[in-house]
Amino acid sequence: MSITLSVDAMGGDHAPDIVIHGLSKTHIRHPDVRFQLYGIKEVIVPLLKQYPQLDNKSDIIHCSDVVAMDAKPSQIIRRSKETSLWQAVGALLENKADAIISAGNTGALMAIAKLRLRMIDPVDRPAIASLWPTMTGETIVMDMGANTMADPKNLLDFCLMGTEYARIIFDNKKPKIGLLNVGSEETKGHEIIKEADSLFKEYQNIYQYHYHGFVEGNDIAKGIVDVVVTDGFTGNVALKTAEGTAKLIGHYLKSSLTSHPLGKLGAWIAQKPLKAFKEKINPSRVNGGALLGVNGIVVKSHGGTDHIGFAAASELAIDLAKGNILEAISQKIHQHEVIKK
Amino acid sequence: MSITLSVDAMGGDHAPDIVIHGLSKTHIRHPDVRFQLYGIKEVIVPLLKQYPQLDNKSDIIHCSDVVAMDAKPSQIIRRSKETSLWQAVGALLENKADAIISAGNTGALMAIAKLRLRMIDPVDRPAIASLWPTMTGETIVMDMGANTMADPKNLLDFCLMGTEYARIIFDNKKPKIGLLNVGSEETKGHEIIKEADSLFKEYQNIYQYHYHGFVEGNDIAKGIVDVVVTDGFTGNVALKTAEGTAKLIGHYLKSSLTSHPLGKLGAWIAQKPLKAFKEKINPSRVNGGALLGVNGIVVKSHGGTDHIGFAAASELAIDLAKGNILEAISQKIHQHEVIKK
């Protein structure tokens, strides 16, 4: 199957430069994939000329407008028909592409994806699923901020979508699911969490996932489950807190080493493994959140990412298109609806 | 003023050993402070004998029972009169001590403190305030898990209590307050956050704090504000996620260095600064959360802490007693009540 990726070439703090640069890397690893680049033609053409191989696999679709990174959702819908984001999402509707990627405004991407692609019935709310590096590999954490609130039914939807996502990403038939809470004891947490806990238990045999129970913030990086389910407010704060902590520790390490002559010498000798370490904690490496729950494969890249991060996110979109995530989720979720009735 | 610290000598995963060992450190830095040790006498006496100087400053008050670390709140209140925790909190009621510290069951400490000491009128809910290491020093983050839900009025109470706490801890007359959210733009977040944002703006001149606005998870470690206000669910997840991230990065660093011969050599040469780095990211260093909102100075140490962590937490309790945090908070909060009327 030949995959076509629809790209919002203008979305992101450093777009379109890092977008085109990133796709040139993606192209090397996925030479069969085609790209549809939505954006301002005059700006994209000279960038694309630097990568003739990528150019061969790409079509530019000119769009006169761009969604600002700080635009409000209400403004976006009103005047978005000419934007690269609106058009790039539209490519999925017309079957011109198999997945869409954007590093632009998250609220706008969600609003446009929901409006144009519509939700998979009966999912009420989409969720952003991210990969989180752990002691043992990677864990899916969702929702990372598509919604600021979630009721028990939403959390169950996230659990089912996360299960399908884990099956594809980790090639694991029966993924282990954890529900994020302030303690692992059954008595912990508020009512929404307790009700979701009951639902997760109730559905684990039908949907073939293994429900581990509550997990705490420090359990995420331990990698004890394949999927950590939480509401978008908590998930977003947790992700950003982890990023901030990683930066702080990098800063501490650097200042400890440079403030001592033996530290400087040791760091100079160990520069190669220290560079590997720096690479390992680079958040770009695991960039890319899948917007699950809409009728289409939509991947959100971090707005401030570099070309490596954009390449990682676009490869995720390609993997999800190849893995047929959409069909897997809608089949499962429909089964959920049937059971509910 | 001579300070007496009431100590739940039996609370914590490694109590009473690390408690007595920790207090021996505290005693060296605060030789004028007296200690009231609540717990099983036969166990405490031989430990205390190892530190004659501390022994001189300590009274043991025998309690026949101990609150289990995993006991449920309902069980605790029913059978807690003979526990070290119940008795240690009681010392504040009888003016036998100026502050109480426990590394025991958080739920039990909160329940007993609320029941015995009562809330500062009109605060509805207590909050745990912790110190968080940052690029520029430390930031107070609260609530770290006293409650799993908070309404806008609760968040305003946390803001006012956090302001007084920052004034004492940082000796800063007009602390900078941030409200934790999923984005810094005004349109972000759910209704509770938006209402709290309005309240924080409304009260900043009256209560003499500087309201910075929304902050994101990654802003905590940047140290851009003195106090980060959030509900206890989010705060607890953020804290534990940061701890988990720190461990993961330590693990990555170690494996990067040990998997390469030059890494091993460099690490050996830089062992002194690397040890300083390890010390710096040790969570024990900033152990100790103040339970604000109750009529008494109550400090919670991490249950799994070591003697260094317990010493840090007990020194925090002493500082708060010396700084008269209780009077500062109740005066401010009463002013809040007067304005509301």
**Structure confidence by residue, pLDDT tens digits, B27-49:** 999 999 999 999 999 999 999 99
Burial class (CB in 10 A: 0-12, 13-18, 19+), A313: buried
Q: Do A233 and B190 touch (CB under 8 A)?
A: yes
The share of chain B scoring above pLDDT 90, in percent, equals 63
For A191, other C-beta atoms within 10 Å of its C-beta total 10
> Measured between alpha carbons, how far is B92 from B99 in angstroms, rounded to an integer?
7
B339 lies within 8 A of chain A by CB: no
Task: State how far the Cα of A56 lies from the Cα of B333, in Å rounded to an integer.
Answer: 68
Residue type present at position B142? M
Give every CB contact of residue B87 below 8 A, 6+ residues apart in sequence. B38, B61, B63
Instruction: Please report where in the chains the tokens 């539209």 appear, as a residue.
Output: A90
Could you tell me where the beta strands, DSSP code E, fall in chain B? Answer: 4-8, 34-39, 58-62, 99-102, 127-133, 138-142, 176-180, 210-215, 227-229, 289-292, 298-300
Candidates B139, B191, B192, B218, partner chain A, best to mutate (most A CBs within 10 A): B218
**What sign does the dihedral A85-A89-A90-A96 (CA atoms) show?**
positive
Give the phi and the psi of residue B310 in degrees, each rounded to 5.
-65, -40
In this complex, is the C-beta atom of B201 within 8 Å of any C-beta atom belonging to chain A?
Answer: no
Q: What is the pTM of this model?
A: 0.90
Alpha carbon of A326: minimum distance to chain B alpha carbons (Å): 27
Residues B53-75: what's their mean pLDDT? 86
Asked if B241 and A238 come within 8 Å (Cβ–Cβ), the reply is yes
Give B42's contacts (C-beta < 8 A, 6+ positions apart).
Answer: none
Nearest residue in chain A measured CA to CA from B105: A183
Residues in contact with A200: Cβ distance below 8 Å, sequence separation at least 6, in sequence order: A155, A156, A159, A177, A179, A211, A229
Cβ of B270 and A270 within 8 Å?
yes
Tokens 């260094």 locate to: B308
Hey, is the C-beta of B273 within 8 angstroms of any chain A C-beta?
yes
> Residue B1 contacts by C-beta under 8 Å, 6 or more apart in sequence?
B322
Contact across the interface for B187 and A72, Cβ inside 8 Å: yes
Q: What are the phi and psi torsion angles at A179 (to 5°)? A: -110, 120
Name the amino acid, one letter, at A276. Answer: A
| B327, pLDDT greater than 90 | no
Q: Kindly state whether A218 is in contact with chain B, defined as any CB-CB distance less than 8 angstroms.
A: yes
Looking at residue A27, its amino acid is: H
Asked if B73 has any chain A CB less than 8 Å from its own CB, the reply is: yes
The pLDDT value given to residue B290: 94
Instruction: Please name the residue that has the structure tokens 């991060």.
Output: A309
Region of poorest pLDDT, from B1-15, B33-47, B220-234: B1-15
Cα(A240)–Cα(A231) distance, rounded to whole angstroms?
14
- Residue B339's pLDDT is what? 62
Q: Best interface-test mutation with A: which of B228, B237, B264 has the largest number of A CBs within 10 A? A: B237
Q: What is the pLDDT of residues B86-130, one digit of tens each?
A: 999 999 998 999 999 999 988 889 999 999 999 998 888 999 999
Q: Do B236 and A180 touch (CB under 8 A)?
A: no
How far apart are the C-alpha atoms of A285 and A45, rounded to whole Å?
Answer: 27
Please state the separation of Cα B227 from the chain's center in Å: 13
Query: Concatenated DSSP letters for A297-332?
Result: -EEE--TT--HHHHHHHHHHHHHHHHHTHHHHHHHH
Q: What is the mean pLDDT of residues B290-300?
A: 94
- DSSP codes of every residue in B62-102: E-SB---TT--HHHHHHT-TTBHHHHHHHHHHTTS-SEEEE
User: In which residue are the tokens 């990133």 written?
Assistant: A22
Task: Kindly determine whether residue B245 and residue A240, on different chains, have CB atoms separated by under 8 Å.
Answer: no
What pLDDT band is residue B266 in, cutting at 50, 70 and 90? confident
Residues in chain A within 8 Å Cβ distance of B233? 182, 189-190, 234
State the Rg of chain A over Cα.
Answer: 21
Contact with chain A for residue B274, Cβ under 8 A: yes
Asked if B189 lies within 8 A of A233 by C-beta distance, the reply is yes
B268 touches chain A (CB under 8 A): yes
CA distances to A156, A161, A208, A211 from A333, in Å: 10, 8, 13, 18
Residues of A in contact with B241 (CB under 8 A): 217-218, 220-221, 238, 241-242, 245
3-state secondary structure of B339: helix
User: B68 in contact with A at a CB cutoff of 8 Å?
Assistant: no
CB-nearest partner of A280 from B73, B237, B256: B256
Asked if A201 and A166 touch (Cβ cutoff 8 Å), the reply is no
A295 Rama class: left (phi>0) / alpha (psi -120 to 50) / beta = beta
Q: Tell whether A222 lies on the interface with B, counting CB pairs under 8 A.
A: yes
**SS3 per-residue string spanning A209-272:** CEEEEEECHHHHCCCCCCEEECCHHHHHHHHHHHHHHHHHHHHHHHHHHHCCHHHHHHHHHCHH
Residues A243 and B218: beta-carbon distance below 8 Å: yes
Burial category of A324 from C-beta neighbours within 10 Å (exposed 0-12, middle 13-18, buried 19 and up): middle
Nearest to B160 by CA among B299, B332, B335: B332
In sequence order, what are the beta bridge partners of A83? A65
CA distance to partner chain B, nearest, from residue A272 (Å): 8
pLDDT at B264: 87
Span B215-235, average pLDDT:
96
Q: What is the ipTM of this complex?
A: 0.88
- CB proximity B243 to A under 8 Å: yes
- Based on the number of CB atoms within 10 Å of its own CB, is B159 exposed (0-12), middle (13-18) or buried (19 or more)? buried
Query: What mean pLDDT do residues B169-194 have?
Result: 90
pLDDT of amino acid B1 = 66
Chain A residues in contact with B73 (beta carbon < 8 A): 187
Contact status, residue B223 vs residue B137, Cβ threshold 8 Å: yes
A253 in contact with B, Cβ within 8 Å:
yes
Query: Is A112 within 8 Å of A89 (Cβ atoms)?
Result: yes
Query: Is B115 within 8 Å of chain A by CB?
Result: no
Q: What distance in Å separates residue A277's CA from the closest CA in chain B?
A: 6
pLDDT confidence of residue A301:
93
User: Which among B245, B255, B258, B268 is the top mutation candidate for probing chain A, defined by the most A β-carbons within 10 Å of its own β-carbon?
Assistant: B245
CA-to-CA separations, B22 to B101, B151, B309, B312, in angstroms, rounded? 12, 37, 7, 8
Give chain B positions within 8 Å (CB) of A250.
249
Tens-digit pLDDT string for chain A (341 aa)? 689 999 999 999 998 999 999 999 999 999 999 999 999 999 999 999 999 999 999 999 999 888 887 777 667 766 678 899 999 999 999 899 999 999 998 888 999 999 999 999 888 899 999 999 999 999 999 999 888 899 999 999 999 999 999 998 898 999 999 999 998 777 788 899 999 999 999 999 989 999 999 999 999 999 999 999 999 999 999 999 999 998 898 888 888 888 888 888 888 888 888 888 887 777 667 788 999 999 999 999 988 889 999 999 999 999 999 888 888 888 877 776 666 55
CB contact under 8 A, B233 and A232: no
Give residues with Cβ within 8 angstroms of A181, minimum separation 6.
A188, A189, A193, A214, A215, A216
Q: How many CB atoms lie within 10 A of CB B239?
A: 25
CB contact under 8 A, B242 and A217: yes
Q: What's the token pair of residue A30?
A: 């996925």
Q: Cβ separation of A277 and B253 shorter than 8 Å? A: yes
Contact state of A272 with B260 under an 8 Å Cβ cutoff:
yes
Question: How far is it, in rounded angstroms, from Cα B68 to Cα B15?
Answer: 12
Chain A nearest CA to B9, separation (Å): 24
Reported residue count of chain A is 341
Report the amino acid identity of residue A114.
K
pLDDT at A180: 97
What amino acid occupies position A51? Y
Predicted confidence at residue A337, as pLDDT, reads 63
- Tell me which residues of chain A, numbers 291 to 330, contact chain B at a CB-CB cutoff of 8 Å: none
- B281 and A257 in contact by Cβ < 8 A? no
**CA–CA–CA angle B282, B141, A105 (5° rounding):** 105
Amino acid residing at B72: K
Cβ neighbours of residue A42 under 8 Å, at least 6 residues apart?
Answer: none
Q: Chain A: nearest CA to B259, how far in angstroms?
A: 8
For position B286, what pLDDT does the model report? 72
B238-249 mean pLDDT: 91
Count of A–B CB contacts within 8 Å?
Answer: 212
How far does the CA of residue B60 sit from the closest CA of chain A (Å)?
A: 33
The partner residue sitting opposite B272, judged by closest CB among A133, A260, A277, is: A260
Q: What count of residues does chain B have?
A: 341
Q: For residues B123 and B139, give the distance between their C-alpha atoms in angstroms, rounded to a whole number.
A: 23
Q: Do A274 and B257 touch (CB under 8 A)?
A: yes
